[in-house]
Amino acid sequence: MNPHYYAACDLGADSGRVILGTLADGKLTLEEINRFPTGALPVQGTLRWNILRIYEEIKKGLVILSKRGIKISSVSTDSWGVDYVHLYKNEPFLTAPYHYRDTRTDKGFEHAFAVVSAKEIFQETGIQFMTLNTLYQLHADWRERPEVLKLSEQFLFIADYFNFLFSNVKVAEESLASTTQLYNPASHTWSDVLIDKLGLPKRIFPKVVPSATVLGPVAPALAAELGWTETKVVATCSHDTGAAVAAVPGEGTDWAYLSSGTWSLLGIENLKPIINEESREKNFTNEIGIGGSIRFLKNIVGLWIVQESRRAWEKAGQKYTFEELCQQATKAPALRSLINPADPRFAKPNDMPKKVTDYCRETGQPVPETPGEIIRTVYESLAILYSVTLDNLETLTGRKVNHLHIVGGGCKDKLLNQFAANATNRPVLAGPVECTAIGNILIQALAMGDIASHKDLRKVVSDSFPLTTYQPENVAAFAEARKRFTKLPA
């Protein structure tokens, strides 16, 4: 089989990368072309995305690829969910897009529930309640800067925005649209009920297309610059988790996935949304994946706590690699103190080590003092939260989960993987690391007709990337610690 080449622009909340994917003889190889920070930009008391700098970095990677002289079949972008860019005439954007951790939605529930009930929101969308959701961000626009909504002709989500810059096609891909808490996963349409009650203008909501949609050729100016006159732009699963889950090398139905990165997203694939009072009470979410499948999952604050702790220590003059922190955590006392990562304080930036120590002090536990003790506290707490979430998942779906696939950057963390196996009392299969980029690339291949089906897509992943298995250990101690964990406040 002649090789096919694809370009993936994989944007995470902490970093982005342009990756070349080569599909040949049923196997995929990856090459990182350009990696760059994304991150929040503090501006006048707000948190924004420096969207033009990100575009500059993406372009840098694409230019490097263009100089290789290889035929790029297609290009696509994936990104985190919920954030968006307002468009106005021929301007690159109307205003610098907000970061989902900006404080403007701190009272988002209070403001939204004043006009529409939580029950009705969940019945319409089946989406987990988080104040960072697009619903609360757009409602903040309506309250605090109505002039922006009056001028806005349309919004696009982050990945869809870059696909628009590549193709001149303004659409939203369904996996990203489904994260907003304004999209109905049963009818596959925007929720007019919620849009009307929240006073949002319908004209700004983009047309939604399914995953693996070929948007068209690269826009003429960019095609001329890159020499990509035959290259297509594809809307894959534009939501990074959707792309990652599409590439999980699972077989059968007795497995769950954990996309481990800044966020920990734990769930299963399902044929239909599960929208009932129990799933609302447990705060699970129904996001759309490849082929219209449902990603029934829970969003958990993940390695963000570690990333922020590392930044805080570096600011104080103590620079640690993730590997060094993991080594220190290995030597720290086991299951000494726990936090509940669902506590809202851990979702916000700044001085994360102090937040961890304050929480332990407030709950009458030994206070972790060293970086190793703090990281071990975070890892063990995350692992126990995974176990609670998995048990709730089995109850809500009626399905038995016999093993857990961990994918994404966090699957490199051997200590956290082992703790996850211990706490869940299930084997953990770790890998691939770049699962989001893999999903992005192979969905492009599917859209271009180079792969026949989603099943074949997963076989390519299995044949291309080895997995590491972690068997449960020290199960009784983790089960005992879980009893303490369930009494902690969130």
* Cross-sheet strand order for the sheet of 255-260: 285-288, 294-301, 263-270, 255-260, 403-407, 428-430, 468-470
At 294, list the tokens.
């449902």
Distance CA 198, CA 192 (A): 10
DSSP, collapsed to helix, strand or coil, labels residue 18 as strand
At 116, list the tokens.
């529409």
Is 264 in contact with 386 (CB distance < 8 Å)? Answer: yes
Angle, CA 430 vertex, CA 424 and CA 434 arms, to 5°: 135
Phi, psi of 100 (to 5 degrees): -65, -15
Contacts of 415 (CB under 8 A, 6+ apart): 326, 329, 330, 379
DSSP structure string for 273-294: ---SHHHHHTT-EEEE-GGG-E
Distance CA 318, CA 307 (A): 14
Angle, CA 74 vertex, CA 183 and CA 261 arms, to 5°: 55
Angle, CA 471 vertex, CA 468 and CA 475 arms, to 5°: 145
Q: Is 240 a catalytic residue?
A: yes
Distance CA 373, CA 369 (A): 6
Is 166 in contact with 222 (CB distance < 8 Å)? Answer: yes
C-alpha pair distances (Å), 490 with each of 30, 106, 188, 485:
40, 16, 33, 10
Phi, psi of 251 (to 5 degrees): -130, 145
Phi, psi of 29 (to 5 degrees): -120, 150
Contacts of 6 (CB under 8 A, 6+ apart): 20, 21, 23, 72, 73, 74, 75, 76, 441, 444, 445
Cα-Cα-Cα-Cα dihedral of 341, 343, 347, 349, to 10°? -100
Q: Active-site residue among 106, 240, 254, 450? A: 240
Cis ω for the linkage preceding 185 (within 30 of 0) = no
At 166, list the tokens.
């590549």
Distance CA 157, CA 206 (A): 9
Alpha helices in 70-229 (DSSP H): 108-113, 118-125, 134-144, 146-151, 158-167, 174-177, 192-197, 220-226
Residue 425: burial class (beta carbons within 10 Å; 0-12, 13-18, 19+): middle
Which sequence positions are flagged as catalytic?
240
